[in-house]
Structure 1
Amino acid sequence: MSESMYIPNSAYRIQLRNGTTFKQAASAISYLKELGIDAVSVSSPFQSLQIGDGILTATDPTELDFELGSESGFAHLNSELASAGMHLIVDLNPNQMSASYENAWWFDVLEWGPSARHANHFDVDWTRAITLPVLERPINEEIQADKFQLTFDREKTSLGVSYAGRFFPLAPSSYREALKGINNKIAVTLIETASRATSTTTADFHTDLLKAFDHANITDRLEMASGLNDIAKDAGRMIGLMSLQNWTLVQSKGASEPINYRHSADSKLTVGLRVEDPAVFMDFHKMPLSLLEKTQIKGFRVNEIDELADPAEYTRRLRSHAGEDIFVVTDKILLGEETYNDDWHVNGTAGYEFISTVADLFVDHAGLSRLQRMYEYELEPRSEFPSEFPGDYRHAKASILHATFTDELERLVQLLAELGPPYAEELLLRRAIAELIAELPVYRTYSKDGALPPFDVDMLQSIAAQISRREGQTADVVEILAFILRIMNSEDTSSSPDVASSFIIRFQQLTAAVMAQAIQKSYRYARGPIALDELMLSASPTSDPIGAFHRKMVDRAAAMPSGMLATSFSYTTKFGEDARMRLLAFSEASGVWARAVDAWRQCHAANLATIEAVVAPDPKTEWLIYQTLAAIWPVSLRIDDDAGLASVREELVGFMERAIRESEKQSFWTGVNKPYEQAVMNYVDGLFADKEFLSEFVETMRPFWLTGALNSFSQTVLKLTAPGIPVIHNGAETWDLSVSSAPTRGSFDFDALKDQLAYADQSPLNLLLEDWYSGGVKQRILKSHLKMRQEMPRLFSEGKYIPLKAVGKQANHIVAFYREFEEQYAVIAVPRLCFDMLKPFTTPFLPLPEWEGTFLQVPDALVGKQFRHVMTDKGFTLASKVSLVEVLREFPVMTLVSE
C-alpha cells in the first residue's frame, strides 16, 4: 500500500434513508468531531431503492439520491465535513441493481431487449425474453380481474403495461399492434415515431413521443386512452401483445418459466450487474470516482463482494481508477479457518469477522454446552437436527438452493452437462452440485491465475470425501464430484474453456448468494439458546479462547492492520452489540437462565393456544421471546411506566413477527400464518399484563445485565485498541439494545447524543458507573480512547500486537496485550466471564478483593516506563508485575498509554 494512502483513525457508520438524509447526517458532524471521529461511513448516497428484506439496490449510480437531498444536501454534508477536517467513506453496491422501471438502464433493456445499449450491463440469458416473476395469479385471471392497464406513461414517455404499481415498457416494434384500431392523429404519430426508432436513438425517440403526446388535443388523448383500456380487458389481445415484448410476466410463486437473470440472495426484483466488463464498470463507477477529486470522499466500502464474478479483478480495477491513496474495504465475511485474500487490492474487510472473534471471548463454553443440551433435548426432543455447535448451515443452504435458486442450479447443470461429465443424467449432476454447495463451509472459492489456491483445493477435496463417505452414497455421484473438482481447478477444460469458465464463475457466485441467504434467514434453522443463530457465535469452541483471540489479532496485525473492526449490525446479525453482550452472559449462569425460562413457561402455559393441533407459541419460540425481552429491556424502565412498556412491547412484537415469518412455521416469507402470529402476540400481551412476572423478570435479569454491561466495556476497548480501524455504528456509542437489522433502523437524535456526551465528559467516573444504565459511561470510554488514537495514530495503525500473560487466581478472567511502535506503547487489560463476581452488586464494577494476587507479567521493554491510565488520568510506573487490583481500582477496564 502507498505511504500516502488515506487511513482513517476511526469511522462512524450512518445508515442513510429511513429518516436520515444528507442534512441529518450533516447535523451530526460537530458532535462526531467532539467524540473524536475522523471519518464518516455512509450507505450508498446514490439513487437507490430498498428491495425485499431491506436490501439497497441502485436505480441510477450516476445521480445523488433525491430523497436524501440530491446535490444541495450532499454539498451541505460535504461542507460540514470539510470544516471539521473529516472525510467520507461511501458504500458501493456493484453486484446488482433494481429490476424496476425506476432503473433507467433496466428500463432500456426491457424496452429494446438484446439490442439495448445497456443489454450487456446485466447478467441475463438472452436466448429468450426476460422472465419477470411479478404476477400474483395466472395471467388470464389477472386480466379478467382488471389488474392490467395499457397506457401511455408521460413520466416515462412510453407506451406500456402497468401492473401492481410497476410499469413495463412496450417494445417500439409492437406499438402498431398495441394501437391497432385507434385511428386518430396521436396514435398514427406514435406508430410512425416508433417505426423510425432504434436502440441507438432512444433519447430522440422518447423526446419525440413526449412532443407528440403534449401537442395532441385532449379529445385524441382520451380516445387513445379509452382504446387502450378496451385492449387491456381483452385477454386474447393482451396476451398476444405481451408475447411481442422483450419480457414476459409470470407468477411470483410457482412460476413454470425459469428466471433467466442473476438476482440477489434476497429478491428477484434485483438483477445482477456485469461489472467484470470494463465498460459496465466505468458506467457504474463514473460518479463515485469523479467525486474523489471534488469532495471529502476518501474511501469506498464495497458490498456483496463475494457475488461478483471476480472479486480480485474488481478490486484491482477499482484501485487502478481510484488511486493508491484511497481507502477501500469490502464486506467480505471470513468464516471458519478462512483467511484474508492477500491478492485483493484493498485495505481489508468491513470488520464483521471481529464480531465472532470478540464474542468467543465472552462465552463460557462449558455453560453454553449445558444450555445447548437443554435447548435441543428438552424443548424439542425430536428435533430433526442433532446437537451440534452452531455455524453449520448446510440444512438451510440445501433448502434455499432448491427454493430460491432453482434456475441458477439448473443453469449449472446444463453447463456441467456440456463439459462431458462421466455420467450425463441431469438428476445425478444436480445432486452432486447441490450437495457440494450445501456442504461448502465458506461463502465461495476463488480462482487465481486459472486455478484454485491450496486452501480452496484442500477444502473442496475434504468436502467431496465427506460426501462420498455418506451412507447410501452412489459411485456415480462420487465420480461426478471428482469431475467437478477438476473443472473448478481448471483441469479437463481444454475442449470447452469458455463453458468451463462460465461454470466456475456461476458456481462461485451462487455459493456466495446461498450462504448469504442461509445466514440472513437463520431463524428457521436456529438451534442455539442465546442468539446462536447469529454468525458471530459460529466460531468453534476452543479450550483456550484467550489464546485464540491473541493469535487472530497477531495475524490481523500482519495481514490487514488497516481493515475495519465492527461490533454492531451487519446483515448477518439480529441483535445490537450490547444486547448481544447481555445474551452471552447467559452461558455463565446457564442453570439460572434455563430454570427461569422453564418457570416462566409454566407460569404462562394458560396463554398458549392450539391451532390445528399445533401449540402456539411452540417451546423454542417461547424461549426466543424471553431471550429477546432480556436483550432489549432498558435497565432504567420502571414497571409502572406504561408508555415505556408499550415501546418495549412494540419492539418485541416487531422482532417476533419477523422471526416467525422466517422460522420453520413459515418458509422464508412465502406466506403469513396469521393465526399463529396472533397467538404469539397474545402470549406477549399476557406477559406485559402480568406485573408480578415483569418484576420477577427484572430481578432475575439484573446480574445478567450487569455482566452484559461489563462485557460491553471490554468489547468497546478491544475494538478501539486491537489492530484495525474501529467503526461505531450510529447510536451504538451509547447502549445498543436494538434488534432491528441495520438497513431498517430509523434516524437518531444527534442533539440528544451530544447532550449526553457533555454529561459524560463533566461527570466523575464513579458517578457514571453508578448511572451506568444511561449509557454515558460507554460514550466516555469511546471519547477517551478515540482521543488517544488521534494523539498516537501510528501506534494503532502500524504498531505490533503483543499478548501479555496474567497469573494468579483470576488469570482466566483477563485479556491483556500491548501495542508497540517506535517507543510508543499502550497496555490493555479487560475482564471476561465475571458473572459470579458481579451478581451481588448493582453496578458493573469489579469487586477488588476478588483480584488480589492476580498480576500481569510485564516484559523488560516496558519495565520502568511511565504510563497514564486513559480513563482515570492516573500515572503508573510499570514494574515487572502489575497488580490488577491497582490498575482496576477506579475503573473496570484498563488502557495505559506511554507518556
Structure 2
Amino acid sequence: MSRRPSSTYRVQLTPDFGFAQVAGIAGYLRDLGVSHVYLSPILQATPGSQHGYDVTDHSRIRAEFGGASGFREMAQVLAAHDLGVVVDIVPNHMNTENPAFWSVLKDGRDSPYARWFDVEWDEDGKVALPVLGDDTEPVVDGDVLRYHEHTFPHPGHYKLVDWREGPGYRRFFDVSTLIGLRVEDPEVLFATHEVLFWLVDEGLVDGLRVDHPDGLADPRGYLERLRARTGEKTWTVVEKILIGPERLPADWPCDGTTGYEVLNRVNGLFVDPAGKEPLIRLFTELTGEPADYRPVMLESKREVLELFFRPEVERLAKAAGSTPEAVRELLAAMPVYRAYVVPGEPPPAESVEIVERAAASCSEDVRPLVHEVLYGSPEAITRFQQACGPVMAKGVEDTALYRWFPLACLNEVGGEPDVFGVSVAEFHEFCAGMAPYTMTTLSTHDTKRSEDVRARLSVLSELPEEWADAVEQWSAAVSFDPHHDYLAWQNLMAAWPISAERFTDYLLKAAREAKTKISWVEPDDDYERGLRAFAEAAVRLPIGKFTERIDPYAMSNSLGAKLVQLMMPGVPDVYQGTETANFSLVDPDNRRPVDCPAEPRSAWDAAKLLVTQQALRLRRRLGGAAAYLPMRADGPAAEHVIAFGRGADERERPRAVAVATRLPVKLARTGWGGTSLTLPAGTWRDLLTGALHTGRIPLAHLLAQYPVALLERHDL
C-alpha cells in the first residue's frame, strides 16, 4: 500500500551505481532517518547515460541498473528497512534513437507509432531531421542510411537537413535528440507508463516525480489521468519552476512541486539586503555589464530565440496567423514558464494578466497575437504554452544567469539574481501557504551550485568590502576575460579546494552557456586555451585564506539553511552527499559519485550530518502535515534568528521547535546581547546537544555550541 514520504534521499543512478548498490546503503539511509529513496529515471535509456532522461524503451527497466528483477530485489531490501521508493518519470520526451521513432522514419504516417510523437509533416509527408553538418554524403548500407555516427532506415519517409535548421518535431528545449511525446493521447500514455503503473500496483513504488510538465500539451489533464490511474495515495510532485509570487495552479491534482521556489526562499534568508548595492557596483566595475538585470534577461531570451527556436517560432506564427517577429517579441517578454491557458476553457484571470502584462512591453504588432494565444485555435494556444518554458530555460537559466552575477548564490533555477534577501516575516508568510506534502530541497541534480557553495557565497553579502579587496588582489595576479573572471572568482572561492580540472570544466561550461565569447555550437580554440591557462594559474593563488576566513559564517549559514529546509512544511529531500558539507558546482560536477555512507572529515561535516540525521528522524516521529507555528525572538539581535514550531497537541502547543542563526557576520560584531526566545510551556530537549530547556532562554545560551537548535518536547 502506498504511503506518503516524511522525507526523501535523492540517488543518481548510473551504470556504475544501480539497484544493487542502492540496496547496499539501505541500512545507512534508514539510520539517517529518511522514509523514501528517490531514484533518477529507471527506464531503459541511451547506453552509458549518466542521467537517464533520454529514455529509449518504456517497456523495460534499465538493464544497466539490474533490470526488473534487480529493481524488485532492491525494493524488497528497502522495504525490510522500512524504506519506500519514489521514481523520477519523464512523460514529455524520449531519445530519438528508439524503435518506435525508427518505425515512424521508415513508414511515415502509416507507422503504428505515428501518433506517439509531436511531428510536423511537410507537404511530401516527410519529417525533417537536423543532422547534416558538413559535405560528407550519407551512405546507403543495405536497408540503412549512415551519416557519421547516425543510422536511419532506408528507404524512409524523412529528409536530412542542416543541423542549424531545427527538427520537424517538438523537442525538449533545443535538444534535437530528445523528441516530444504526445501523452495527451490515452494510447501513448498507457504505452509509455505501463511499467510504472505495474510498479505502483504491486506496491513497489510509493511516489512519482514528474519531469518537465510544462512541456506537455495539457499538464493538468495529464496529472488528472495519472492520478486516476495511480490513485490518491501515490505521492506525486512535479518539476514546476515558479517565479517570484507565482504559485502552482490550484487545479493540478498533485501534491506540489520539487521545491525550487523553496530553495530560493531558504537561500534568501541568509543573504543580507545591505550587500546589494556594493556587490552590484563591484560587478559592474569588473565586468562592464549593466547594473539592471532585466535588460540582460530580455536580451538573452531574444538571442536564444534567434539561435535555437526558429522552427518553434515559425510553427507558432503559422498556427496563430501571426509573424515570427511578433512571436519572438511576446515569447521574450513572458515572465514565467507557462501561463496555463487550456483550449476550450475561458483563460484564468491570472493567465490573461500575465500575457497582457508581457504584451504591454511589446510593440503594437503583438496585440493580435495576444488574442490568438488566449482565445484562438487549440493549436495556437497549446504551442504558445509549450514554447514559453524552453525560452525561459535557455534564455534565463542557461544564458542570463551566466551573464549577470553580482552574487552568484542568487543565480539559481527559478531565482531572481537582483532580489537580495528574504525577511523572516516574508518567509513565515510563504510557509503558511505551503501545501503540506510539496517537496522541499536545497540541492538537486540541476542546481547551478550546491547548497554549501551558496552558503559561502551568502557571506559575501555581509562582507562586500573585504570581498572586493580580495578580488582586486587576485585579479591583479591573474586575469583573462573581464566579463567572466568575476564569476570565476566567486565559484573558485566557494568551491575551494577544487582541482584545476574541475574548475576548468566549470569555466568552460559557464562561458559556453553565456554565449558572449564562445558557445556550444561556436567554439574558439584560442579562447578555450586561454581559459584553461587562467584556471590553472588561479588555483595556485592563496584563495583558501579567504575561504578559511569566512567558513565559520558559511558553516552557520549551511546548518541554518539545512535545518530550516528539513523542518519547514513539506517533504524534505536530501540530494546525495549533502548530509555532509558538499561543494559541487553545476552538472556534471554535482553528479559525481559520493561517499555513502558519509564519514565526517571535518567539524562542518560532523555538525551537518548530526543536524540532518536528527531532523529527519524527528520528521518521521512528527508525521505528515504537522502545523507550522512562527515564533519571535525578543531583543536587539532578533533579526538574526528564525524560529518556528512544528506539530501541535490538543492545547495547540508545538511538539518541536527549530531555531537557526542568520546573517552571522553582523551578529558576531554585536553579539546576542539580551536577545531571547520564549519556549512554549513544557520541558524541551535539544536533540543536537542533549540539553534541557524551559521558558525564556537567552539565545547566547541556546546557541552556544551550534548556530542552530532542534528542540523536541520532553514531556510528551
How far 1:489 moved relative to its partner?
3.3
Q: TM-score normalised to the size of structure 1?
A: 0.75
1:596 aligns with 2:504: no
Contact kept in structure 2, 1:360 and 1:537, CA below 8 Å: no
1:738 aligns with 2:566: no
1: CA distance, partners of 2:6 / 2:588: 23
Alignment gaps of 5+ in structure 1:
153-158, 172-244, 418-425, 468-472, 494-499, 609-616, 635-646, 760-770, 840-848
2: CA distance, partners of 1:274 / 1:668: 31
1: CA distance, partners of 2:314 / 2:69: 48
Aligned partner of 1:277 in structure 2 is 185
How far 1:135 moved relative to its partner?
1.7
How far 1:747 moved relative to its partner?
2.5
Aligned partner of 1:239 in structure 2 is none
Q: Which protein is richer in helix relative to its size?
A: 1
Contact kept in structure 2, 1:27 and 1:750, CA below 8 Å: no
SS at match of 2:220: helix
Aligned partner of 2:548 in structure 1 is 702
Alignment partner of 2:147 out of 160, 163, 182: 163
How far 1:854 moved relative to its partner?
0.5
Contact kept in structure 2, 1:88 and 1:297, CA below 8 Å: yes
Contact kept in structure 2, 1:133 and 1:252, CA below 8 Å: yes
2: CA distance, partners of 1:343 / 1:25: 36
How far 1:280 moved relative to its partner?
0.7
1: CA distance, partners of 2:381 / 2:324: 15
2: CA distance, partners of 1:373 / 1:53: 40
Q: Residue type of the partner of 1:677?
A: E
2: CA distance, partners of 1:587 / 1:389: 17
How far 1:486 moved relative to its partner?
2.8
SS at match of 2:251: coil
How far 1:450 moved relative to its partner?
0.7
* 1:744–1:122 Cα change, 3 Å: farther
How far 1:6 moved relative to its partner?
2.1
1: CA distance, partners of 2:296 / 2:287: 19
Alignment partner of 2:175 out of 267, 270, 279: 267
Show CA shifts across 1:746-792 (max 9, x none). Answer: 323324x2x54xx9xxxxxxxxxxx424x122111111111111222
How far 1:51 moved relative to its partner?
11
How far 1:7 moved relative to its partner?
1.3
Q: Residue type of the partner of 2:472?
A: D
Contact kept in structure 1, 2:119 and 2:169, CA below 8 Å: yes
Cα RMSD (Å) = 2.3
For the pair shown, the structure with the greater C-alpha radius of gyration is: 1
Q: Residue type of the partner of 1:329?
A: V
Q: How does 1:79-478 map to 2 (within 5 A)?
A: 79-100=76-97, 103-127=98-122, 128-137=125-134, 141-143=135-137, 148-152=138-142, 159-171=143-155, 245-253=156-164, 255=165, 259-376=167-284, 378-381=285-288, 383=289, 386-389=290-293, 393-417=297-321, 429-448=323-342, 450-467=345-362, 473=363, 475=364, 477=365
2: CA distance, partners of 1:710 / 1:329: 30
SS at match of 2:655: strand
Aligned partner of 1:517 in structure 2 is 394
How far 1:578 moved relative to its partner?
0.5
1:809 aligns with 2:636: yes
2: CA distance, partners of 1:21 / 1:321: 28
Contact kept in structure 1, 2:462 and 2:665, CA below 8 Å: yes
1:819 aligns with 2:646: yes
Alignment gaps of 5+ in structure 2:
none
* 1:539–1:627 Cα change, 3 Å: closer
* 1:8–1:703 Cα change, 3 Å: same
Aligned partner of 2:38 in structure 1 is 41
1: CA distance, partners of 2:128 / 2:691: 68
Aligned partner of 1:639 in structure 2 is none
2: CA distance, partners of 1:461 / 1:629: 42
Alignment partner of 1:679 out of 530, 540, 543: 530
Give the 4+ runs in structure 1 shifted more than 4 A: 50-55, 389-392, 836-839
Higher deviation after alignment, 541-550 or 278-287: 541-550
2: CA distance, partners of 1:619 / 1:550: 40
Aligned partner of 1:764 in structure 2 is none
Aligned partner of 1:632 in structure 2 is 495
How far 1:331 moved relative to its partner?
0.4
Contact kept in structure 1, 2:424 and 2:642, CA below 8 Å: yes
* 1:460–1:53 Cα change, 3 Å: farther
Aligned partner of 1:31 in structure 2 is 28
1: CA distance, partners of 2:608 / 2:170: 44
Q: How does 1:779-790 map to 2 (within 5 A)?
A: 779-790=609-620
Contact kept in structure 1, 2:201 and 2:230, CA below 8 Å: no
Aligned partner of 2:682 in structure 1 is 865
Q: Residue type of the partner of 1:579?
A: V
Contact kept in structure 1, 2:132 and 2:163, CA below 8 Å: yes
2: CA distance, partners of 1:745 / 1:875: 41
How far 1:740 moved relative to its partner?
3.4
* 1:544–1:291 Cα change, 3 Å: closer
Contact kept in structure 1, 2:683 and 2:693, CA below 8 Å: yes
2: CA distance, partners of 1:366 / 1:503: 45
Alignment partner of 2:439 out of 541, 561, 564: 564
Show CA shifts across 1:122-154 (max 9, x none). Answer: 0001233111111221xxx312xxxx44224xx
SS at match of 2:390: helix
2: CA distance, partners of 1:674 / 1:72: 48
Q: Residue type of the partner of 1:627?
A: Q
Aligned partner of 1:484 in structure 2 is 369
* 1:282–1:82 Cα change, 3 Å: same
2: CA distance, partners of 1:895 / 1:521: 38
2: CA distance, partners of 1:744 / 1:780: 22
* 1:50–1:69 Cα change, 3 Å: closer
Show CA shifts across 1:691-730 (max 9, x none). Answer: xx32xx3222223222111101001100111000010001
How far 1:40 moved relative to its partner?
0.6
Q: Residue type of the partner of 1:852?
A: G
Alignment partner of 2:433 out of 551, 555, 574: 555
Aligned partner of 2:564 in structure 1 is 718
Q: Residue type of the partner of 1:508?
A: Q
How far 1:820 moved relative to its partner?
3.2
2: CA distance, partners of 1:772 / 1:536: 32
Aligned partner of 1:644 in structure 2 is none
SS at match of 1:662: helix
Q: Residue type of the partner of 1:485?
A: V
1: CA distance, partners of 2:555 / 2:421: 25
* 1:542–1:527 Cα change, 3 Å: closer
Show CA shifts across 1:265-296 (max 9, x none). Answer: 14111110000111111111111001112252
Q: Residue type of the partner of 1:624?
A: L
Show CA shifts across 1:647-673 (max 9, x none). Answer: 622211111111122223445411221
How far 1:526 moved relative to its partner?
2.1
Contact kept in structure 2, 1:57 and 1:98, CA below 8 Å: yes
1: CA distance, partners of 2:462 / 2:43: 46
Contact kept in structure 2, 1:581 and 1:712, CA below 8 Å: yes
Q: How does 1:879-898 map to 2 (within 5 A)?
A: 881-898=696-713
1: CA distance, partners of 2:584 / 2:192: 34
SS at match of 1:798: coil
* 1:456–1:540 Cα change, 3 Å: farther
Q: Residue type of the partner of 2:136?
A: E
* 1:282–1:391 Cα change, 3 Å: farther
Q: Residue type of the partner of 1:434?
A: R
Q: Residue type of the partner of 1:451?
A: P
Q: Residue type of the partner of 1:737?
A: F
Contact kept in structure 2, 1:553 and 1:722, CA below 8 Å: yes
* 1:721–1:782 Cα change, 3 Å: same
Contact kept in structure 2, 1:524 and 1:664, CA below 8 Å: no
2: CA distance, partners of 1:84 / 1:654: 39
Q: Residue type of the partner of 1:95?
A: N
Q: Residue type of the partner of 1:674?
A: D
